Amino acid sequence: METLKKHRQEIDDLDRIIIEALDQRFDKSIEIGDYKNKEGIAVADSGRENEIYKKINRSKFPENIKNVFKTIIEESKSLQKKD
């Protein structure tokens, strides 16, 4: 049982790192959205998205990590949109 507790603590530690990194990424997405809005630039940038997806697809990451990253990109775009 002690091993299970140790593994869960390691997961908790990793979750904190992931959350902090996502928070930073989303803050940057908001900054980019503000810039795009100020400059009249569309949120969607298919060239940039394709560049990111190509990088992800060339990686040796498993499909589940690629799927998570696709969700991160979609969430980032939603933060850039002004309601």
* CA gap 40, 67 in Å, rounded: 30
pLDDT in tens, 7-55: 999 999 999 999 999 999 999 999 999 999 999 999 988 899 889 888 8
* CA gap 15, 80 in Å, rounded: 25
- 81, 37 Cβ separation under 8 angstroms: no
**What pTM was estimated for this model as a whole?**
0.83
25 burial level (CB within 10 Å; 0-12, 13-18, 19+): middle
Q: Is 42 helix (H, G, I), strand (E, B) or coil?
A: coil
* CA gap 10, 17 in Å, rounded: 11
CATH superfamily name and code, 2-80: Chorismate mutase (1.20.59.10)
